Amino acid sequence: MNSDLLIPTAVAGFVLVACALWFVRRNSGPSVTRSVMRRMARPDLVLEGGITKTDSRRSTGREFLSWLYRLNLLQRLEENLWQAGIYARIADILLVILLMFTAGLFAGEAFTGKLLVSLPIAVAMASLPIIYIRVRRQRRLKAFAKQLPYALDLIKSSLEAGHTLLRGLQVVVSEFADPIGTEFRSAIEQSRLGLPLPRALEEMLKRVPQDDLRLLVVAVRVQAEVGSSLAIILGRLSEIVRTRQRLQQQIKALTAQSKMSGILVGFLPIVMLAAFSVIQPSYTNTLFFDPTGQKILEVAAVLDILAFLSIRKLLKVKY
C-alpha cells in the first residue's frame, strides 16, 4: 500500500474502533437492561428492536437476522450475553463485530498491503468481542458456582425456620450480590408474573448452565411433586456441591504441571525466534525475507498452534 494512505487508513480504523466502543457504552444503560430483563421474565414477549423465538413476523430488513437466528447462531450469542451478564441487543453486538472486522481489515491493508494477511487480522479483530463475552461468561459462571453452596445453606436455614421456599429465595437475593442474587431475582420476578417456581428455576438453569444448579432444580421439582422435606434435600445437596468443587480443584492441581508444560512448549519457538532475531539477525533473515522461508514460518506457526490446541484438548478432564 502507498505510504500516503497509511495515516488515513489508520485514522479510519481508529474511528471505527471508537464507534464500536461508543455503541457498547450507549447500549449498556438501565433502559436496555430493563428491556432485556423483561424478555428474560417473559420469553414470549416481543419487544421493539428485539429478536425472540416466537417472533415470526419480521420486516424485510431483518430477514438476514431471522435466518441467522434459525441457524441458532444468534440464539447462542444471545444466551452467552445473558450468561455473561451483558444486557445488550443482538443487533448492536453484530454492529460492533462488523466495525471491528472493518477496522482490522483497514489496519492489515495499511501495515502489510496483502489481502491474505489482512483477512486473518480482520477476523481476529472481529473475534475480540466474542472472546470478551466468553471470558466474562466463564468468570460469571465460576462466581455463581462459588456462591451456590452458601446460598443453599441460607435457603435451608430459612426453610428450617418455617419460611417458604419463595421467602428463602428472597433472602438469598437480599444477602448475595451478582451473579447469584441477580439470577434468583429474575426467577422471583418470573414467579410473580405467574410462572410456577419450578419452571422459573428451569428458566434460570438455561441462563446459568451449571450442573450444581441442575441438582437444585431437580430437588425442587421432586419436592413439588412428591412433597418430601426440602430442607434435608438442600442440606445434602450443599455437601454434594462442595464435594464436587473440591474434586474440581484437585483435578486442576494435578493437571497444572502438564498445562504449564504445554504453555512452555507452545511459546518456546516464538521466544527462541525472537531471541535469535535480536542476538544474531543473520540466522533469521532467511525466514523473514526469503519467500521459501516465509512459507516455512507460516507452516511452523500453524503446526505450533495445532500442537498447543491438542495439548489443551488432552488435558481437559470430563467427569
Cell numbers representing residue 182 in the block: 441477580
Domains identified in the chain and CATH numbers: 3-138 (no CATH), 142-245 (1.20.81.30), 254-314 (no CATH)
41, pLDDT greater than 50: no
Q: Are 8 and 154 in contact (CB under 8 A)?
A: no
Q: What does pLDDT average to over the chain?
A: 77
pLDDT band for position 47 (cuts 50, 70, 90): very low
State how far the Cα of 208 lies from the Cα of 206, in Å rounded to an integer: 6
pLDDT band for position 33 (cuts 50, 70, 90): very low
Q: Residue 23's closest CA among 98, 73, 74?
A: 98
**97: how many CB neighbours lie within 10 A of its CB?**
18
34, pLDDT greater than 80: no
pLDDT band for position 14 (cuts 50, 70, 90): low
State how far the Cα of 124 lies from the Cα of 129, in Å rounded to an integer: 10
pTM, two decimal places:
0.65
49, pLDDT greater than 50: no
CA distances, 312 to each of 262, 302, 306 (Å): 7, 15, 10
Is residue 86 left, alpha or beta, with left meaning phi > 0 and alpha meaning psi from -120 to 50?
beta
Least confident of 48-62, 227-241, 256-270: 48-62
Digit-coded pLDDT (tens) for 108-125: 777 777 777 778 888 888
State how far the Cα of 4 lies from the Cα of 102, in Å rounded to an integer: 20
pLDDT band for position 315 (cuts 50, 70, 90): confident
How far is C-alpha 67 from the chain's CA centre? 23
Measured over the CA atoms of residue 304, residue 306, residue 310 and residue 312, the dihedral's sign is positive
For 212-236, letters b (16+ CB in 10 Å) and e give: bbebbbbbbbebeeeeeebbebbbe
CA distances, 198 to each of 183, 190, 226 (Å): 14, 11, 13
Least confident of 61-75, 88-102, 173-187, 199-213: 61-75
pLDDT band for position 42 (cuts 50, 70, 90): very low
177, HSE (Cβ side, Cα atoms, 13 Å): 2
Q: Are 154 and 129 in contact (CB under 8 A)?
A: no
Cell numbers representing residue 302 in the block: 500453524
Mean pLDDT over 52-57 rounds to 38
